[in-house]
Structure 1
Amino acid sequence: MTEELTRDAFLGGKLHLLQPVSGYRAGVDPVLLAASVKAVAGQSVLDLGCGTGAAALCLGARVPGLKLAGVELQPGYAALARRNGGETFEVFTGDVADLPAGLRQRQFDHVIANPPYFDPRRRRAGRDEGRETALGESVPLEKWVRVAGRRLAPKGYAHFIHRIERLPDILGALDHDMGSVEVLPLTAREGRRPELAILRARKSGRGAFVLHAPLVLHEGARHTKDADSYVPAVRAVLRDGAALTF
């Protein structure tokens, strides 16, 4: 990972993160993921594959008083996550498939994850190793889902954001004690096919499966100006740190 860094504003300046100039850089996906979590002060949160800390720290900025922890495979990104979070964010360097000893016996009220979207066998690798590791699926998605479930406390919630075509894999990997599943598809504009989805599941949950109407991110049928076109609810999440309600 390059030593050149930028200091980027999130949530309308409520949060600033150091990120590499060249490499994986957090976009809107971890912000939307964090906004979907119904956490309250005093609860604990584990961010699997936390990168530089975008999802966990966005959640912490919205809900003060959380106990935040994360695990990140790449040492350089883990180091940045520690710098970004300071004493409020406990970051472990390690593999989701083989969690560090400090996490194996712990349980959390919430586990969140923005797993790599792409199978490296089906795409041409880029030049930046850090970005490829962040985006390319080296640990099977099913493993991410099972690890999340096992680290949850009873009645705890797991949240994932991923590509819509991988929903069957996530649903199929949920352990038998994970229920009350809800899926919120995300579509760029009205009338377009959703490309992403946020999935929420509860340990020991007994609620029926719910497929929500897609959340439309942008106004209008197409991009027509050099400015963001987010709908008010999404703009409130990205600019004001608001919650994203299902």
Structure 2
Amino acid sequence: MEVLSHGTLLDGRLRYRQFRQGYRTGLEPVLMAASVPARPGQRILEGGCGAGAGLMCLAWRVAGITGIGVERDARTAALAQTNFNDNGLDRLRAACATLPDLPAIADFPLQGGGFDHAFANPPWHRTDASASPDPRRDIARRVVANDMLNVWVRSLGRQVRHHGTLTLALPAASLDAAIASMRAHGIGSIRLIPFWPKAGRPARIVLVQGRVGGRGDAALLPGMTLHRADGHFTPEADAILRDGAPLDAG
């Protein structure tokens, strides 16, 4: 039996379990959840949802949303559903599938466009990088094909309605490919939100958010410094990571 760790999200507001070994949830799902401009009653899709942290944080901030998380690893998808249920988030569901394939359920109409927003933290480790000794961590982080980011953008973007948003959390090295892929698939009005680990350091995480059918110019937003010099979170980061505050993506 695999060992689980028992923790919380948003300063104890949500109970959260994840596998002790393998891929561990970082800051990206919480930051993405803060940036999605969802409203009550809207439908949200997350690609590669892991144990469900992103959808849970978004559902806590915006009551009344319906969310589906797609996860490649069956055991992780089952754990995400357990986390949803344990927190009374009965409008969230996890489904096991590997993008670009999606579950054969009514939530994914053949013509697409069934969701108001989608978000994901796609795998980004190169195909020739050293493999992780833990298979689940390798699945979560490794690019298995050279066009994998493009596949995720196309697959998720197709499910979003006109003028809905697609948000990706990526390393800075993937920005060129992400922007080109979004534009190739009709996603524009792109906003870039960098996150610096400390003042004066290069950004390690960048959120890329575009609108399906958007025609506006790309914009680089002010971004956020995550840690103070002493290693503690900045007040701005604390507001998101502990209090579930929204992040304005413009």
TM-score interval for Structure 1 and Structure 2 normalised by the shorter chain = over 0.9
| C-alpha distance in 1 between matches for 2:185 and 2:141 | 28
Query: Partner of 1:42 in structure 2?
Result: 41
Structure 1 SS opposite 2:214: coil
Aligned counterparts of 2:132 and 2:222: Cα–Cα separation in 1: 35
Percent of pairs with identical residues: 35
Aligned pair count reads 238
Q: CA RMSD in A?
A: 1.4
For 1:241, the equivalent position in structure 2 comes to: 244
User: d(CA) in 2 for partners of 1:41 and 1:151?
Assistant: 19
Equivalent residue for 1:186?
195
Q: Provide the residue aligned with 2:120 in structure 1.
A: 113
CA distance in structure 2 between the aligned counterparts of 1:58 and 1:82, rounded to whole angstroms: 14
CA deviation after TM superposition for structure 1 residue 244, in Å:
1.5
Residue 178 (structure 2) aligns with: 170
Q: Aligned to 1:13, what secondary structure does the other structure show?
A: coil
In 2, Cα distance between the equivalents of 1:97 and 1:39?
24
Secondary structure of the residue that 2:206 maps to in structure 1? Answer: strand
Residue matched to 1:92: 95
Equivalents in 1 of 2:167, 2:176: separation in Å?
Answer: 15
Deviation at residue 121 of structure 1 after TM alignment: 1.3
Instruction: Quote the offset at 1:120 in angstroms.
Output: 3.5
Answer yes or no: is the 8 Å Cα contact 2:224–2:236 preserved in 1. Answer: no
Give the drift of 1:17: 1.4
| Whole-angstrom distance in 1 between the partners of 2:73 and 2:205 | 25
What TM-score does the superposition give when structure 1 sets the normalisation length?
0.92
Identify the residue that residue 205 of structure 1 maps to in structure 2. 214
- Measure, in 2, the Cα distance between the counterparts of 1:187 and 1:179: 25
SS for the counterpart of 2:198 is coil
1:49-103 per-position Cα deviation (integer Å, ceiling 9, x unaligned)? 1111111111111111000111111000000011011232121111112112225
C-alpha offsets along residues 177-217 of structure 1, whole Å, 9 cap, x if unaligned? 21111001111111111122001100122222101234211
Task: Specify the alignment match of 2:135 in structure 1.
Answer: 129
SS at match of 1:191: coil
Tell me the equivalent position of 2:76: 77
Give the alignment partner of residue 232 of structure 1, picking from 223, 230, 235. 235
Q: Secondary structure at the match of 1:157?
A: strand
Q: Which residue of 1 aligns with 2:11?
A: 12
Q: Which runs of 5+ in 2 are unaligned?
A: none
Q: Aligned pair 1:146/2:146, yes or no?
A: no
Q: Choose the corresponding residue for 2:226, options 204, 208, 217.
A: 217
Q: What is the distance in 1 between the residues matched to 2:63 and 2:174?
A: 32
Contact 1:194 1:214 in 2 (8 A): no
Which position in structure 1 is the counterpart of 2:21?
22
Which 10-residue stretch deviates more, 171-180 or 106-115? 171-180
Q: Provide the TM-score with structure 2 as the length reference.
A: 0.91
Could you tell me which amino acid in structure 2 is paired with residue 160 of structure 1?
L
The residue matched to 1:188 in structure 2 has which SS? strand
Gaps of 5+ in 1: none
